[in-house]
Amino acid sequence: MRIRYGYRIELVCAQDLPLVTLLDVHPSRRHDLTTPDEMRATSLTDPLNELPMSQHLDAFGNICRRIVAPAGGMRLESEGVIFDSGEPDRISPDAREVPPSRLPDDVLPFLLGSRYCETDKLGAQAWSLFGNTVPGWARVQAIVDFVHNHLTFGYHFARSTRTAAEAFEERVGVCRDFAHLAVALCRAMNIPARYCNGYLGDIGVAPNPAPMDFNAWFEVYLGGRWHTFDARHNEPRIGRIVICRSRDAADTAMISSFGPHTLQHFEVITEELEEEPMRLMPRHFRQLDARPAM
């Protein structure tokens, strides 16, 4: 299948605003692009003024862009088409845990605590809740089931500073909180887990009337490879388009700015295209009220 995805974001600022974005599709999916999705940055006060930017990979291999928004503000927008297998997330019930002593060097960091995933605060709860579960896939699924049932989802619960331990106590959150808590509990059980951010449209499921947003899920290292889990939805989904992977949301902010600004406009789109060669569905975006992402 083909999936059309994209965004339009407008920031208003009173003076020049340096920023770094994490909005490009991850390098691991670039080969699936059927239509280029180059970001376009323009001045809000002079729409014909396309702003220069540079590009680099961060420490986790995600694509970053550096831009300076001029006084008055800027618009960031992109739209692309990606080929997807149409298969739901893979289920591998026989996948086994890999002892820390045998983990690859590049996997080890995903055993450690991080800004939003405090393994030290959740270690006792994790072993109390899951110490008697079958190691491997069954244990991770038990963690996902627990988080899915323990937290109540709601956009009005969004708080950018909420950590995994706070989500555990407050029992509310958005998709990033579900992912953070599941990641922290997995790491506390010596299972490497990494945070993911990307697009996830309503493909293969009942349409959600809420405006589209970026989504957070997580991956765990079992049986020598990474596997996808989603504590918010807790079911295999079709059409995930990963943007970035890291330790937690502190490393995956969509926009890191170095100065004051106001989010004026935020839109995201992810939808399956009709299978008609060289024909795109009519362009439309669904507007999302300004609020903390995920």
CATH code assigned at 144:
3.10.620.30
pLDDT at residue 249 tops 80: yes
Residues 118 and 245 in one domain: yes
φ/ψ region of 234 (left if φ > 0, alpha if ψ in -120 to 50, else beta) reads left
Question: pLDDT per residue over 255-286, tens digit each?
Answer: 999 999 999 999 999 999 987 654 444 444 44
Pairing of strands 193-199, 215-222: antiparallel
The amino acid at residue 178 is F
Question: pLDDT per residue over 96-149, tens digit each?
Answer: 999 999 999 999 999 999 999 999 999 999 999 999 999 999 999 999 999 999
Instruction: Check residue 6 and give its pLDDT.
Output: 96
Residues 106 and 41 in one domain: no
Residues 39 and 18 in one domain: yes
Residues 235 and 136 in one domain: yes
Answer yes or no: is 213 within a domain.
yes
Residue 93 tokens read as 């019930």
Residues 113 and 243 in one domain: yes
| Residue span of the structural domain in which 165 resides | 100-251
CATH code for position 37: 2.60.40.2250
CB 221 within 8 A of CB 107: yes
Q: Is 285 exposed, middle or buried (0-12, 13-18, 19+ CB in 10 A)?
A: middle
Based on the structure, what is the number of domains in the chain? 2
Instruction: Check residue 289 and give its pLDDT.
Output: 41
Residue 101 tokens read as 């002593």
Residues 177 and 238 in one domain: yes
Instruction: Check residue 130 and give its pLDDT.
Output: 98
The mean of the pLDDT values for the chain is 93
Answer yes or no: is 92 within a domain.
no
Answer yes or no: is 71 within a domain.
yes
Answer yes or no: is 284 within a domain.
yes
Residues 204 and 261 in one domain: no
Answer yes or no: is 93 within a domain.
no
Pairing of strands 74-83, 40-43: antiparallel
pLDDT at residue 287 tops 50: no
CB 93 within 8 A of CB 37: no
E strands within the chain? Answer: 2-12, 17-21, 33-35, 40-43, 53-57, 63-69, 74-83, 152-153, 172-173, 193-199, 215-222, 225-229, 241-246, 255-257, 262-272, 286-288
Residue 285 tokens read as 């975006």
Residues 270 and 245 in one domain: no
pLDDT class of 293 with cuts at 50, 70, 90: very low
Residues 186 and 236 in one domain: yes
- Please give the biggest Cα pair distance in the chain: 62
Answer yes or no: is 91 within a domain.
no
Of 290, 207, 198, which is closest to residue 245 (Cα–Cα)?
Answer: 198
Residues 71 and 208 in one domain: no
Q: At what angle do helices 119-130 and 137-150 cross, to 10 degrees?
A: 110
Residues 149 and 44 in one domain: no
pLDDT at residue 31 tops 80: yes
Answer yes or no: is 293 within a domain.
no
Residues 161 and 59 in one domain: no
CA distance 197 to 294: 9
